[in-house]
A = this chain, B = another copy of it.
Amino acid sequence: MTLHTDLTRNQSLVLGALERAEGPISAYAILDELRTDGLRAPLQVYRALDKLLDMGLAHRLETLNAFILCAHPHEHTSEIIAFAICETCRQVWEFSDDTVRERLIAWTQAQDFRPSRTTMEIKGQCRKCAA
């Protein structure tokens, strides 16, 4: 895990945009946020995002084509993370479950499948929006 202060200028800018977003945000939306800071091309955002993902500071939500600040200060590179995504208010909950992790690892080991990255995303409605 890399410290906040290790970030380059572009990485800090993108991280700041993720923090302000308080929810999932697309790379292009991040770019629009940061045009006033001098960013001009999508690649500048995508490159910064790649590093932030590597550092575990942000996550990519595959079903939204969007990115979100990691909800946990701790490291979880070896964890299997799940996201619950409210389709109404777009709020996201990040969690992990050891039993789920064990079962998925059991399946992969039985098949001699070597996992590199796992995506788990539950779309639905949160308590507030379902009421």
Binding site for B on A (CB under 8 A): 62-63, 82, 84, 86-87, 93, 95, 97, 99-100, 103-104, 107-108, 111-127, 130
Asked whether, in the complex, the Cβ of B108 is within 8 Å of the Cβ of A122, the reply is: yes
Asked whether, in the complex, the Cβ of A107 is within 8 Å of the Cβ of B97, the reply is: yes
Closest 6 CB pairs of A and B: A112-B127, A115-B124, A62-B62, A116-B124, A119-B121, A114-B125
Which residue of chain B lies nearest to A120 when distances are taken between CB atoms in the complex?
Answer: B120
Instruction: Quote the shortest CB–CB distance from A122 to chain B (angstroms).
Output: 5
Asked whether, in the complex, the Cβ of B108 is within 8 Å of the Cβ of A124, the reply is: yes
Instruction: Quote the shortest CB–CB distance from A50 to chain B (angstroms).
Output: 16
Instruction: Quote the shortest CB–CB distance from A40 to chain B (angstroms).
Output: 26
Complex: A86 Cα to B111 Cα, angstroms = 12
